[in-house]
Amino acid sequence: MHLDCQKFDSSTLKKWFLSEKRDLPWRETRDPYAIWVSEIMLQQTQVSVVIPYFERWMQAFPTIESLALSSLDKVIKMWEGLGYYSRARNLHEGAKFVLLEFDGKLPDSEFELQKIKGIGPYTVGAIMSFAFHKRKAAVDGNVIRVLARLFYVQDDIAKPKTVQTIREIAEAILPEDESWIVTEALIELGATVCTKKPKCMSCPLKASCKAFLRGEADVLPFKSTKITIESLFRNVAVVIAENRLLVRRCKADEIMSDLYEFPFIEAKSLTDDQTLELSQFLKLPLIKIRDLGEVNHSFTRFRVKLNAALFTAEKRKQVKDYEWLSMDELEQCAFSSGHRRLFHQVKILILDKFVIDLV
């Protein structure tokens, strides 16, 4: 155990948090389900983005039972745009498990919570602390950053051993009285003050922060692994025939599992006119109506440029792995982010009657 844990100034941090904390909808409840949903949404996603999604989700699925009994398609549609869709699938599976095993109520036991799909050590800590007011740390990237600086942890946080050390520190510094406030305060401090570029002069703990006192707050924590970003180029065909659009639902083993996309082909670079190549790919004669321009989107370690055009086909010929859906049907489908923007473009064109005579 870290020797300086007993010197941690929890009272100052607690006072700061109660004065400066952001007004967030999931902080207005102790409902374990709402806290579970918010914590899953907040993984890899900014708070400002999560708020409207959280509010819509809780309206659509106000209870674990309502989520468990909903279709996966509806769940994915409600998640559309948040990315990392495995989170939504895990929430859905987790809700079904909780309904079956725990009568629709989240347990307050660490052992039982760990059985639920998608709930890892951080989420266990968050639910136990914020919902059940148990003395339990919730260690996310924000807390790792705060404690690495505060206690001058120089080891590589990409290594599980270092993360475990920081988890032990987080558990050790929690006070017996109202520990859940300090747990949330650590997360808030990392999210708003002890950020990647630290705002040390605004920090309530700067007087005891070893990294700050050494002038090294901006170099900690140390992380060795770097994600290599790969660029992809795709030529996309938005094909309309007989008032229906050609799309495919990505398969379970694909990155965009359960999401809809328009036909596309990989390219080494974006090309000016892809009509012939796309026609051959789909085995469907295409007539180009107009360019839709370039759309950028990102997922996992990829940065993708979509070069899209709107095409028409004389008939809705069957295309392997694809289906022809109406605009109303597509409104209910969840698209990957770049393809969703293309769909909105086409909707506007159709509403403006730009292509009405061609379909």
- Residue 322, amino acid: Y
Please check whether residue 277 is in contact with residue 307, taking contact to mean a CB–CB distance below 8 angstroms: no
Write out the DSSP string of 1-23: --TTGGG--HHHHHHHHHHH---
Q: Does the annotation count 80 as an active-site position?
A: no
Q: How far is CA 354 from CA 75, 247, 344, 347, 349, in A?
A: 33, 21, 14, 10, 5
Please check whether residue 241 is in contact with residue 359, taking contact to mean a CB–CB distance below 8 angstroms: yes
Write out the DSSP string of 107-141: -S-HHHHTTSTT--HHHHHHIIIIIT--S-----H
Which two structure tokens, joined as six digits, stand for 133? 């007011």
- Residue 51, amino acid: I
Catalytic one among 28, 39, 110, 266? 39
Contacts of 54 (CB under 8 A, 6+ apart): 25, 26, 37, 38, 41
- DSSP 8-class letter at 26: G
Counting every residue written for the chain, the total comes to: 359
Which residues are known to be catalytic? Answer: 39
